[in-house]
Amino acid sequence: MSKGSKVKKLPFRDLKEKVVKEKVEKEPPLNLKEKNAIHTFRVNIRDREHFYKITDWLNKNVGRGNENWTMEGRVLKALKDGRSPNPKIYIFRQDFDPTSSLYLTLL
């Protein structure tokens, strides 16, 4: 061989030993609200007055603030755009009675 020529080496592969990659099932990302909520349910909101009735009821019976309950999405913006949103409500209080969520759907 001359001084300038190089020998190309091929990678060694043993045909008997085949490396099989194990597929690890990944859990899908989880919404922290969904994870921490004690109760979740959906409510159809008809208009702005209906939205305020629901929020007033939640503030009086569950408690005020994000540590007690929250609602997903931008409900008032959707109402302003002429859509009727179907947001999920997350309740974080331990002593909340889930049967009272039926009352919210009847408001």
Q: Give the per-residue pLDDT at 29.
A: 67
Residues 60-77: tens digit of each pLDDT = 999 998 889 999 999 999
Give the confidence band of 20 by pLDDT, cuts at 50, 70, 90.
Answer: low
CA distance 54 to 69: 12
Nearest-CA neighbor of 39 among 4, 89, 79, 106?
A: 89
pLDDT of residue 3 exceeding 80, the answer is no
Whether the model pTM is above 0.85: no
In the chain, % of residues over pLDDT 90: 43
| pLDDT above 60 (res 16) | no
d(C-alpha 105, C-alpha 54), whole Å: 9
Confidence check: pLDDT of 56 > 60: yes
Residue 38: pLDDT band (50, 70, 90) is confident
